[in-house]
A and B are shown apart, each in its own frame.
Chain A
């Protein structure tokens, strides 16, 4: 493809989703500067592999690139060192340490509660409620089955509720 034409196509289809990309990166990294860098990097990466994207939804595709960049970066930074085990972490028996952490982090606002969610829960909520993506799209982005997305969302909501309860009480 002619580079100028490729650029025009790319900008037309991918640029409109800049806010969605930044919002996701900002929520995942919880840092504005990191989010900005990662979004820039993701756009370059997306542009380089634009030929392979064909026919997929540009927004979901871009968010996949952003999400992967954020996860890689968080892992490098050591923030995601503790692997999250869906089977072990059931919300019904939140360990004391985690409950304490939640209370400590629950500083009175929904945003704080959302920030305090485990990464995978936060990802699901942000993509679903703020990114307005379908379960299927979220499943593709996070590379997990749809059922996992649904259970993550349910648990995330339950945690949010607990967090807000702790705050409002």
Chain B
């Protein structure tokens, strides 16, 4: 049986065809399977694509490239502007406060005497933190603290079972501010070329009272 016969069998749905397929399946497929020719226009499209591929970038293409570069630059600039500039200081201050209470290192110099605490900082700091005795907020002592590689004085005051850390370091003046983070209250102010941060779990009112006593 040759392929011509097979084709005729195919056309008339001859039941003998399947058996032939085993002996000559190729000719059946070759003769009868559809060969899809490329649709009209495909070759033209391909040729166009290839020409565009080797064509030097046109004026418009350069413009498009320039425009996208500008757009990207503008976008990144705006994103940079939009990103909130988070002041790391309050978080650092709070961490220092919590760290001092969590560990055993609350005090380098345990003393309720301002005349003992203040001299202790001599030679350890290049500034002189004002150490004061306060009515109702007993001084417990002092400690050396580091923020972002600069040293700071930490004065520790007590109020019932609460501790107050007062951090002091030289810095340009900033406006007074108070905030609450994770249930802790923070108060900051500036004076004589130094910045002050008072942190405690004490209620806000009493902490403000502490600040006002210290500042006057």
Residues of A within 8 A of B (CB): 3-4, 6-7, 10-11, 15, 18-19, 21-23, 26-27, 32, 35-36, 39-40, 43-44, 47-48, 110-111, 114, 125-126, 128-130, 157-158, 160-161, 164-165, 168-169
Contact = CB atoms under 8 A, between A and B. Distances in A.
B50 interface: yes
Interface of B: 10, 13-15, 17-18, 21-22, 25-26, 28-30, 32-39, 42-43, 45-47, 49-51, 53-54
Nearest to A24: B36
A117 B77 CA distance: 56
Contact of B42 (A22, A27, A44, A48): A22
Contact of A7 (B10, B25, B42, B51): B51
B34 to A, nearest CB: 5
Tell me whether chain A's interface is mostly helix, strand or loop, or mixed. Answer: helix
Given A36-B42, A168-B15, A114 B29 contact: yes
Contacts of A7: 50-51, 54
B29 A160 contact: yes
Nearest to B43: A18
A18 B26 contact: no
Contacts of B42: 18, 22, 36, 39-40
B33 A22 contact: no
A28 to B, nearest CB: 11
Contact of B29 (A43, A44, A129, A165): A129
9 contacts: A15-B47, A22-B38, A43-B46, A43-B49, A110-B29, A114-B33, A125-B33, A126-B33, A164-B21
Nearest to B54: A3
A6 B50 CA distance: 10
Contacts of B47: 11, 15
B50 to A, nearest CB: 6
A18 B18 contact: no
Nearest to A131: B35
B187 to A, nearest CB: 60
Contacts of A22: 36-39, 42
A9 to B, nearest CB: 12
